[in-house]
Chain A
Amino acid sequence: MTLHAFWLPNSFVMSFWLEDNQGPGPDLDPGGSEHPRGMLFTDLVGQLPTELELYQEQRFGLFPAADGLPIASHLDIPIDAQLQPWCIDTGETIAECVIDFFRTRPLPVDEGTTIGDSLLYWQQIAEFAVLLVDETLMVPGIAELEGKKYPVWQAAVPLELDPYWQSLVTAMPPVVHALMPDNEFAATPEALPLSFLDACVDFQVRQWAMQRNPKFHRPRKSQPPLPKQWLDALQAGHFSALFADSRRLETFVEEVGLWNDGVRPLSLFSPYRLGLELMPPDDHDGDWEIHPTVRSNRDRELSVPAGELFDPAASTHHPTALLPCLLAGLGRAAVDFPPLDACLESVPPEPCRIDRMQALVFMTEASLLLQKHGFIVHLPTWWEEPQEKLGLLLRISTPRNTGTDRNAVLGLDQMVSYSWEAAMGEESLTEAEFRELATSKTQLIHRNGRWRRVDTGAIRKSMKQLKDRGFSGDASLANAMEIGFGMEHAGGLPVLDLRFDCGEDASWLDDFRTDARFKMLPTPKTFRGTLRPYQEIGYSWLQFVADAGLGVCLADDMGLGKTVQMIAVLAHQQVNKLAEGPSLIVCPMSVVGNWARELERFAPSLRVLIHHGGDRSSQRMFVDSAGEYDAIITTYNLIVRDQTSFLSCRWWNIILDEAQNIKNPNTKQSVAVRSLRACNRYCLTGTPVENRLIELWSIMDFLNAGFLGWIGTFRTHFAMPIERDGSDRRAAILRKITRPFILRRLKSDRSIICDLPEKNEMKVFCNLTAEQAALYQTVVDQMFTCIGGEEGSSFERKGMILSALVKLKQITNHPVNFLHDDSEFSSARSGKLQRLEEMMQVVLDEGDKALIFTQFAQLGTRLHEKLARKFGVEVLYLHGGTPQRQREQLINKFQTRHGPPMFLLSLKAGGLGLNLTEANHVFHYDRWWNPAVEDQATDRAFRIGQTKAVQVHKYICVGTVEEKIDRMIDNKRQLADNIITPGETLITNLSLTELRDAFMLSRDAVSEQ
């Protein structure tokens, strides 16, 4: 037995029929009208699932026959067989049941029944429908069933799926048409499978609509407008026909068809379509041409120009159907776009010539209509591409700098001239060009060999508004910017940019490196060290901008050497006798020691005073002696506490290190810092200031008071639009106006990478807290008591010194590390910890990853808790007790791209097969005093496979034995780089005097006030 299935598109019914092909063929009676092999409805029902709810029908169908008898479907059918009608007993079901049936694989048909190709065919289509609906590829339309118009969901088949759909259409077994020999569906092969596809789509959408809104009934009483009827019916779980008078109904059906045609399967009725290609002229006033072609629906590459079809030789390569398609297509297309009539005025047809105005109509309106009517329209690529933005520029220019008042070069109260200009993308237009655009009759403009579309309406509006308000004028910079912002959409055009055109005196505002006056300075004679190329640029820039009387901010990434660049400036000013007073360096407590050491190391000729600590000079002494120094280092806290001292001086330079300390403009220290008088102002910061708007304002206001206006104005003009509304334009303008004042290089910048060594070692000098200093002194005192006056290198003496060394190391780390108690592990108790936290914040801000080494497991545990809690990130911790398998897990975790950013290791890393190349920072929280061991640890990060430059930060407490040993090692290294003696050995061999010198706590060790 073989099962066949037929889809009846006029009634949305699937009809099943069971054929008995095992039967004794020859005995059949050829005379009857009943199909001799047809089985009865009762036989059929048993073969199929009951869910189908089959009901009985009788249908006429056409079947291949020989000698008056049907040929069984599994046999070969001779070519001379004729189709003969027979009546068959069918089991039929309405669509909704049948889709579930076909979605089941394999088909739930009784065993022993052969599944005919017709069933497999419908199954393929049902599955395609499921795919479409899953991707929301359906569209509302109208189906005609039994003379009525029903709103239905139909299949949307995008171009990409069209080949598959076409192959489905071609794969249709003829038997599916058996029941409708005279039906008009037979005329278009696609129509039958499409009808079933649509039915499957409609059913699925409706089934879902039913579940979602089971009680939905379209209103019955009134007869709402057709669109409403249509939408209501689409949401219902069942079909309901549209009601309206027939003409209105016809029109509506047509309109819906035109609308949804854009996503319906192609080539329903014809394999060819007319193509229309618009070609712009090469100059402004030339003719535009529309070239007609014939294109294939099945082969998208095929496009035959009209002329070729009329060429006797070339035309023979194309099927005859192309010619009527071209002519009829042009005839119908001309209804949508009448100028196309011209194509058919001659034999052969000519491209149609139109003017600019008509071309615009073609591109904007006609093309849409034509596409809806099934024509393929090709517009120039630039039409579809995003257009260069047309808008206005506010050009701001300052009068020539007279050179008398250096601070007046730029400030919001500065009088400037402003003028409006129109611009297209990057290119500004002359006023004449702008006026021409405004009077242009069409929106199509040919400029510099290219066509563009411009909104002439908006141009005219802007023109009018500018005429009213004036194209140019004079105002304070603040007011000029106000004008720019106040006309966010100047009439019709957006304000694209503010441009500063401050004459040659300030051309550096755009890019200082191109400014004629910018010169690279030589490294100052007194500077001990070598500046890297980008540091030379930075130092020269700091000096150059200061010469222009402006305050600037150096915001290089951590590790690029901001301090060194600043010291070079100080050295330069000293050598060239530019400084007319001392410089004030304001920094957080944790880096006071660092500044002192770096100044000492790179510019020993500078006379430096560290103004902090309990024994700092009194106000009177300070004022008297300040002039004797080149640089005075102090902290933010003291700026507030000793404000009167600092106010009494006029500073040559004020340098704010870690300038994010004044991020809140209302704090006492910010106010105090802003009140200081200075000739040059500098800020150093490693955080990306441009993204923290209030911080940016505060820093800018310190550097160039009033430049960004009053804080309230700044909030309304920048902070709120950028942060709350995400205004990219405001952000761009802010970037633009602040850019000249901020130099920020990233360590990932290509030019910087070239300048950086692959491994960049830096010493981080920290201070002790008073608690640490007291503990330190106790341990040192105890040690000297124990060794008494003993000299030499006895084993006992060595032991005592080494034991003291370990204790001192622990103390410099953190008191907790030495006391081994549960007291608070706070950064207030340790200079190193304070510095580590600050630097970790930068690491996180910069999106980097760090390894932190310490040799004390107990400290490691506390650090681990502390860092994880403080930064709220996962901190990995590997120590001697970590089992091997877990070590691997930790390493793998760290090595994944978005793995945890901090990895704490408390062990002798040497000899371990660790590969931690994801890290680009290595922190040595305490020192091994053995360069070989430290290098081994560093090499975990610095290995083959490392793509980033690695920064190595070695923590050292100033004025302690740590610093002394560090110096000793450095000196030894310089003497004989290859023979490295561990620091411990060096120390234990010292004489008593040398020992006292090494262990003695120097005055600058402590940083507490």
Chain B
Amino acid sequence: MISHWPTHQEIDINVPISVEHGLQLRSQRGEIVKNWWGRGLLAAMDSTAVKEELDAGKRYARKGQIEWMECSESTVKASVQGRDDKPYTVTIAFKALPGAAWTAVLTELSQRLDLCGAILGGSMPEDVQALFERHDAAVLPADPPHSTCDCERTERPCRHMLAVACLVADRVDTRPLLLFELRGLPQEQFMTRLRELWNLPLPDVDDADVPQPSERSVTGYYRRPDVEPETQPTAPPKVDVLAKLGIPQFFNQDDQTSLQTLRKLYHDHIRR
């Protein structure tokens, strides 16, 4: 059982003040990003960095020194906790593509459902890069973005900017639409503009018509929503969970013991 471990305040002056529930990189070792566009974006941001600052930035991002981060209209704003009591504010401003370029790119994309599907599904085939290039545009920024930080370090980019850069790259790596946003196409516009290109009017049903879990409304804050509860089945179905799921793939092929253990756990439970 979990107990509350006391938070050990770091005493070493050279380490930043720790942040509770800070934003962290998913990768704790090795490369930060896996995909070409994530790497490309990171390269654009850290190409001029000093190695020591870059390492410190990665360390910060991995430890969760970033308290919060917002992205809007090509600009990322974040708060990074360093050694100073007060966290630093970092902004990274990307260069947006001109509207005409986006129109041309989206027009071609609308005929490439495979690419749309991939992008919506969180990946970006290299074809996308070629597609941008056909319209004299690039999906990745060619130059380092304009970044600021209110820390007093002399190195630029500083470790705080680089920490945020790592986190941006980490997020973009699984969400290409975020990259589009940084390049000047707000995420919600991606589908809206494609629908226009496909001549699909906005539907007369709202997404809200689909039953959704209750919104956090203020008026009913303390009440259970007035919804008709489904009656709980008196005789729940008999489902053999193990039979339904089959043998876990992650058990070694010739590891019979694990499978037997798993079966026994269920069997013993049924006989309880």
Contact = CB atoms under 8 A, between A and B. Distances in A.
A259 interface: yes
B14 to A, nearest CB: 23
A156 B210 contact: no
Contacts of B212: 170, 189, 271
Interface stretch (B48-56, B97-105, B157-165, B226-234): B226-234
Contacts of A382: none
B203 A140 contact: no
A447 interface: no
B72 interface: no
B252 A344 contact: no
B118 interface: yes
B117 A190 contact: no
Given A117-B222, A170-B225, A349 B268 contact: no
Given A231-B258, A256-B250, A319-B207, A156 B241 contact: yes
B221 A161 contact: no
Contact of B219 (A79, A183, A205): A79
Given A310-B200, A320-B191, A170 B213 contact: yes
Contact of B191 (A140, A231, A323): A323
Given A160-B236, A212-B268, A320-B195, A330 B117 contact: yes
B224 A327 contact: no
A260 B245 contact: yes
B268 A138 contact: no
A247 B29 contact: yes
B84 interface: no
Contacts of B270: 136
Nearest to B250: A255
B224 A172 contact: yes
A318 interface: yes
A366 to B, nearest CB: 15
Given A164-B232, A170-B214, A174-B217, A259 B191 contact: no
Given A164-B233, A175-B221, A296-B210, A317 B241 contact: no
Given A117-B222, A131-B236, A173-B221, A328 B121 contact: yes
A171 B198 CA distance: 38
Given A158-B237, A173-B221, A331-B117, A11 B229 contact: no
Interface string B230-261: 11110011110100110011111001001001
A777 interface: no
What size tier do the contact residues of chain A reach?
Answer: 35 or more
Nearest to A350: B113
A11 B2 contact: yes
B150 interface: no
A116 interface: yes
Given A177-B216, A247-B30, A320-B207, A160 B269 contact: no
Interface stretch (A70-78, A451-459, A547-555, A871-879): A70-78
Interface in B194-219: 195, 198-207, 209-219
Contacts of A167: 227-230
Given A138-B241, A164-B233, A317 B205 contact: yes
B121 A139 contact: no
Interface stretch (A32-40, A232-240, A598-606, A842-850): A232-240
A545 B56 CA distance: 101
Interface string A155-185: 0101011011011111111110100001100
Interface string B1-35: 11110000000000000000100001111100000
A208 interface: yes
A361 interface: no
A317 B201 CA distance: 10
A61 to B, nearest CB: 11
B249 A347 contact: no
Interface string B93-121: 00000000000000000111110111111
A256 B248 contact: yes
Nearest to A160: B237
Contact of B232 (A76, A131, A137, A169): A131
A321 B209 CA distance: 12
24 contacts: A11-B2, A81-B219, A94-B1, A94-B3, A117-B222, A117-B223, A132-B236, A135-B238, A135-B239, A136-B241, A137-B236, A145-B2, A172-B213, A172-B224, A173-B221, A227-B248, A227-B255, A231-B262, A235-B261, A271-B210, A312-B201, A321-B207, A323-B200, A345-B113
Given A190-B213, A227-B252, A341-B114, 13 more contacts: A73-B222, A161-B236, A174-B220, A175-B222, A231-B262, A258-B249, A260-B245, A263-B244, A263-B245, A310-B198, A328-B120, A331-B121, A344-B116
Pairs A-B, 5 closest by C-beta atoms: A331-B117, A189-B213, A328-B120, A331-B121, A344-B113
